[in-house]
Each structure stands twice: as structure tokens, then as C-alpha cells.
């Protein structure tokens, strides 16, 4: 997601107490270097941990002050750009502050001038409606030795399953009076997905069409509509779709593609409310995928061929509350989005959602209420709707997180 940078005045707190911003910045800039040739393995691993924690504090400081430059000390140029955009996305999506509560460490390995580390980080996020969300995510860091100092090159966040199997009954929900869809009776649940997933067999293509919804401009937040392959039970996911972002009383619409663990990228396809958009993702040869997007209303199109190692383990047709690094952006008021022509190629055969045995997924908030509810499948087995309910829109802590940036 992307954000309009706004001035913030919040008090940062760390796991041990208040942070003096000026002092923290100076400490970051004066941080001693550690290299494999001058430190023992244990000391080098400790230096890597210190760099990661310093980077977390710097991101927190940068968000609070609106000055991203403090993040340069511990990040490569590309990762610095990504962090800057993540902070922008968070602010634009209604986040007013986030605090690192604590870190638990997994494996840390060093090999010459590269290092890898796993950190289980707990962050507390505050939103502009006053609500808070505390969550723990796994972060897999890659670092490089740059001019004698360790710098973070990438941070992947492989989370647990994004979908929790249902108990046989749909979660509590409050549907708008204007809805004309029938909620699915049995739904799996997710912290930020709603729609249908198919996860039995090998998938080499997915297709779906939807009408870009008219999003209300009074509630800050975002929504993303997409189809994808992978991502239900693993850390891989190739996806493409459209998105609306509400900020400052205005709504921005755009099209995007994403291949985890990389961040998403806006693509050169204009979309507007009411446009019919068809997206397909197809493996042409082993590991080579064609992403095709067509605005059926304007006749404009976009396509790109990419190399991607996919598990091919699932296919999805999803309405999402996107996230950006340290928290899920609140779900906006998108009303109802309608999918048609949903299909996937499973084990070499093109099949409808019904034939695939696709499962309905409801997006729930922290109270367990559905905030985005899928309908039953249409008679054609390939169409359904997702409706924004009137339940409060701050989503459940946990669940799969995705990073989006231009």
C-alpha cells in the first residue's frame, strides 16, 4: 500500500522504556562495525542482532518524525527505499504509530560477507480511530557486509496460514440492508482475506473478472481485489489485481502485481470504479508465468512475463485488507465487489470454482465478527460476491501479511 506522508507527534516506547529520538539517531550513526575477521562467530552473530534491532528502532523513529534518513545506517539502498515506502503506506492507511514491544531470536548464521537471521518481532500498532493491534510476526532477514558494517538487504515475513479452517458455521456478521447476496453458510476465516480458495492439486493458471467497486471516501483505509496462485499453506504467492486507497477524503484506484517475498508494484493500467477487469496468471513453461490484465471497459491491457518459483499449491479469488510492514491497513467501505468467470487449471484441466471445491473465506475482526463476507457461489459455479458488513473494520491481529509498494 502507499501513503500520504503526514506529520506525527507520538511518544515512542521500547521494550525497556522511552526512547530519546536524538540519542537513538546518534547511536545508530556511531554503531561500531563487526566483521567475520575481527570477531568470533558468537560476537558476529550478536552484532547482526544489534543491527536488526537498531533498524527496527530507526524505522519507528523515522515514522514518528517523518525523517526517513535515520534508516540509511542499517539498510542497503534498495531496502532503505522499501522501508521508506512501507512507512508511507502505513501512514496513508490510517496508522498513527507503531512500537517494537520485543524480539525473540531464531537462527543467526554468518557466511563470509553475508548473514541470515530469524527474528520473531512483536509490534504494537495504533490506528487513527484510537484502536490498537499487537501482533508477533516471523521476520527472515538477509544482511550483507558493506564497508565494514552489516546492513539489512531484505526482510521476508513468512507467516502462518492465511486461512483458518472453519468450524462448520459462518462467523457472526452484520450485513448492510441493501445486500442482495446470500452469505456462504460455511466459511473458513482470515485476518485479511475474504473470497474463495482452492487448495487440492497442482495449479498452473487462475482467472477472474470483477467490477471495480465504488469505495466510500469517509473512512480511511484500503482494499485490494485479486487472483493468485500459492499462499494458502506456503510462503510463495504470485498475484495481481486492483486496489483502492482512501486518504484525506479522496480515493486512489490502481492496478498492481506482486510475487512474494518481493513487494508489489503498480502497473500501467488505469482503472476506475465501475470498470470490468479480467486478470489471469498462467504458467507458460516451467517457472515462467504470464500475468495478463485487461480493462474490459476501456479496452486497455497490460501483460508481463516473469520468472517465479511457485509451489502451485492453491488458487485464490480474494478481496483483501492489505498490509504494509508493521500492520494491516484498516478495511475501507467498498460495499460489494462481484467476481465472475472464476476458474483455474488444476492438474491440467480448466475447472470452475465449484468443480474445484473452492472454500469460502470470511474476513473477521478481533471480535470474531465478519467484516467482509463472501456469498454462496452462483448457479454457474464461477461467480460470487464479497460484501463489506457494518462490523467494525479493524481486522484481527495475526493472519497473513503482504507488503505493497509502487
Q: What percent of the chain has pLDDT over 90?
A: 54
Does 172 have pLDDT greater than 50? no
Instruction: Show the cell assigned to 385.
Output: 460476491
Query: In this predicted structure, what is the pLDDT of residue 184?
Result: 65
Query: In this predicted structure, what is the pLDDT of residue 176?
Result: 39
Residue 401: which pLDDT band, with cuts at 50, 70 and 90? very low
d(CA 131, CA 395): 11
Report the interhelical angle of 21-29 vs 41-65 (nearest 10°).
140
Is 0.85 topped by the overall pTM? no
Report the interhelical angle of 41-65 vs 77-92 (nearest 10°).
40
Mean pLDDT on 379-383: 97
Quick: pLDDT tens for 62-94.
999 999 999 999 999 999 988 888 888 778 767
Q: What percent of the chain has pLDDT over 70?
A: 78
Burial of 182 (0-12, 13-18, 19+ CB in 10 A): exposed
Query: In this predicted structure, what is the pLDDT of residue 45?
Result: 92
Amino acid at each position: 500500500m502507499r501513503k500520504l506522508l503526514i506529520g506525527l507527534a507520538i511518544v515512542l516506547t521500547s521494550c525497556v522504556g522511552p526512547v530519546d529520538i536524538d540519542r537513538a539517531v546518534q547511536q545508530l550513526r556511531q554503531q561500531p562495525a563487526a566483521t567475520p575477521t575481527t570477531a568470533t562467530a558468537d560476537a558476529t552473530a550478536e552484532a547482526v542482532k544489534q543491527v536488526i534491532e537498531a533498524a527496527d528502532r530507526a524505522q519507528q523513529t523515522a515514522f514518528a518524525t517523518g525523517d526517513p534518513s535515520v534508516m540509511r545506517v542499517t539498510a542497503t539502498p534498495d531496502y532503505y527505499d522499501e522501508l521508506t515506502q512501507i512507512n508511507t503506506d502505513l501512514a496513508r492507511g490510517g496508522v498513527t504509530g507503531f512500537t517494537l514491544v520485543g524480539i525473540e531470536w531464531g537462527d543467526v548464521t554468518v557466511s563470509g560477507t553475508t548473514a541470515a537471521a530469524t527474528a520473531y518481532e512483536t509490534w504494537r500498532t495504533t490506528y487513527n480511530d484510537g484502536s490498537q493491534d499487537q501482533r508477533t510476526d516471523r521476520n527472515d532477514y538477509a544482511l550483507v557486509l558493506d564497508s565494514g558494517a552489516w546492513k539489512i538487504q531484505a526482510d521476508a515475513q513468512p507467516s502462518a496460514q492465511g486461512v483458518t479452517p472453519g468450524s462448520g458455521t459462518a462467523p457472526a456478521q452484520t450485513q448492510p440492508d441493501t445486500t442482495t447476496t446470500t452469505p456462504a453458510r460455511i466459511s473458513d476465516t482470515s485476518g485479511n482475506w475474504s473470497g474463495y480458495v482452492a487448495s487440492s492439486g497442482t495449479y498452473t493458471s487462475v482467472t477472474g473478472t470483477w467490477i471495480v467497486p465504488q469505495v466510500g471516501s469517509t473512512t480511511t483505509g484500503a482494499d485490494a481485489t485479486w487472483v493468485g496462485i500459492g499462499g494458502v499453506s506456503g510462503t510463495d504467492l504470485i498475484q495481481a489485481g486492483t486496489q483502492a486507497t482512501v486518504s484525506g477524503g479522496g480515493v486512489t484506484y490502481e492496478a498492481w502485481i506482486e510475487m512474494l517475498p518481493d513487494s508489489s508494484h503498480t502497473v500501467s493500467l488505469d482503472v476506475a470504479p465501475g470498470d470490468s477487469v479480467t486478470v489471469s496468471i498462467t504458467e507458460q513453461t516451467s517457472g515462467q508465468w504470464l500475468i495478463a490484465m485487461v480493462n474490459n471497459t476501456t479496452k486497455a491491457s497490460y501483460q508481463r512475463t516473469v520468472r517465479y518459483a511457485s509451489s502451485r499449491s492453491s488458487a485464490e479469488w480474494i478481496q483483501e485488507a492489505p498490509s504494509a510492514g508493521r500492520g494491516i491497513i484498516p478495511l475501507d467501505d467498498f460495499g460489494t465487489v462481484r467476481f465472475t468467470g472464476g476458474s483455474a487449471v488444476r492438474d491440467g484441466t480448466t475447472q470452475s470454482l465449484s468443480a474445484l471445491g473452492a472454500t469460502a473465506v470470511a474476513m473477521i475482526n478481533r471480535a470474531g465478527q465478519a467484516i467482509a463476507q463472501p456469498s454462496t457461489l452462483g448457479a454457474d459455479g464461477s461467480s460470487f460476491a464479497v460484501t463489506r458488513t457494518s462490523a467494525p473494520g479493524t481486522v484481527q491481529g495475526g493472519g497473513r501479511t503482504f507488503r505493497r509498494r509502487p
